[in-house]
Amino acid sequence: MTLVSDIINYAFRQGNLIASGATPTDAQSAEAVFYLNNIVSSVLGNEVGENLVAFPIGNSGVVRPATYPGWTGTPDNNWFVPENTRIMLNLDQPIDGLYLYPNPDDGCRFGLIDVAGTLATYPVTVYGNGRLIEGATSLTLNVNSTDTEWFYRADTGNWQKVLPLILSDTFPFPVDFDDYFITALAIKLNPSYGTQLDAATTSEFRSSRGQLTARYTQTEPQNSELGLIRLSKMATDRDYWGHGYRGYSSNTMFNQGWPW
């Protein structure tokens, strides 16, 4: 188990910015945490997983269209959060039943933003749905304006919180990739101290990045071009774009597998 503080200490050591056995100052650690959060954020959706697709839960504060998104809590009692989804909360009632994707790919992502800022009044309970989330079967979110992301680790069967990171957090990625993040952080820190990594370390960094991408690359089906499915004499019921859980998208009926 590697802590965020360990990644930071080793990054300072890799550039010989601190002596062996020493630790960075509070100011140095704060700067490194900022850089490390940026590095992890840039990795997500690029080297790791896919970009998140927004999905609305609740309609508090939504004015137009009046019926958007078509449900006040979750869409129905059998619904679960799709892979690589960011839940956008505008709640006027608590949600006890936000179930995550039951068979996630390694590196699959999940995000949640409390847009309305009402989680303290209307908490949300997220269920791992056959997996763990932060080491438990469920997680209750009750802090206003929460903005957090998780990603799924197949090696632990756990949805690991990944952003934002603080010094005392367990680093979310497997130890297999500690060298990648240590070196990436060292690359960020070193110019401020007038130093740079040698060629051998840079070469190892490129190799680690390739391994990270290979582990977490996912296959995501893509939508067809609209011109192929929205033909000039197509039945008018294609105009009902609000049908389905991705409401108000012209691709919804096609994505649901409806042939007319």
Kindly state whether residues 78 and 153 are assigned to the same domain. Answer: yes
Residue 231 inside a domain? The answer is yes
What per-residue confidence (pLDDT) applies to 236?
Answer: 52
Integer Cα distance of 106 and 157 in angstroms: 9
Q: What range does the domain containing 248 cover?
A: 226-255
What average pLDDT does the structure give for the chain?
Answer: 87
Averaged pLDDT, 43-59: 91
What per-residue confidence (pLDDT) applies to 155?
Answer: 93
pLDDT tens digits for range 239-249: 555 445 445 55
Asked whether the beta carbons of 74 and 98 are under 8 A apart, the reply is: yes
Asked whether the beta carbons of 123 and 142 are under 8 A apart, the reply is: yes
Kindly state whether residues 63 and 135 are assigned to the same domain. Answer: yes
DSSP string, 66-116: TTTTS-SSSS-TT--PPSSEEEEE--SS-EEEEEPPSSPPTT-EEEEEESS
pLDDT at 72 over 90: no
Integer Cα distance of 177 and 83 in angstroms: 23
Q: Which two tokens stand for residue 128?
A: 């791992």
Task: Provide the number of structural domains found in the chain.
Answer: 3
Kindly state whether residues 75 and 149 are assigned to the same domain. Answer: yes
Report the range of poorest mean pLDDT among 156-170, 198-212, 215-229: 215-229
* H-state helical runs in 147-259: 178-189, 199-216, 226-229, 252-255
What per-residue confidence (pLDDT) applies to 148?
Answer: 93
pLDDT at 34 over 70: yes
Integer Cα distance of 43 and 202 in angstroms: 18
Burial of 116 (0-12, 13-18, 19+ CB in 10 A): buried
Kindly state whether residues 189 and 205 are assigned to the same domain. Answer: yes
Residue 110 inside a domain? The answer is yes
Burial of 62 (0-12, 13-18, 19+ CB in 10 A): middle
Residue 198 inside a domain? The answer is yes
Residue 221 inside a domain? The answer is no
pLDDT tens digits for range 114-163: 999 999 999 999 999 999 999 999 999 999 999 999 999 999 999 999 98
We report the CATH number of the domain holding residue 109 as 2.60.120.640
Kindly state whether residues 176 and 232 are assigned to the same domain. Answer: no
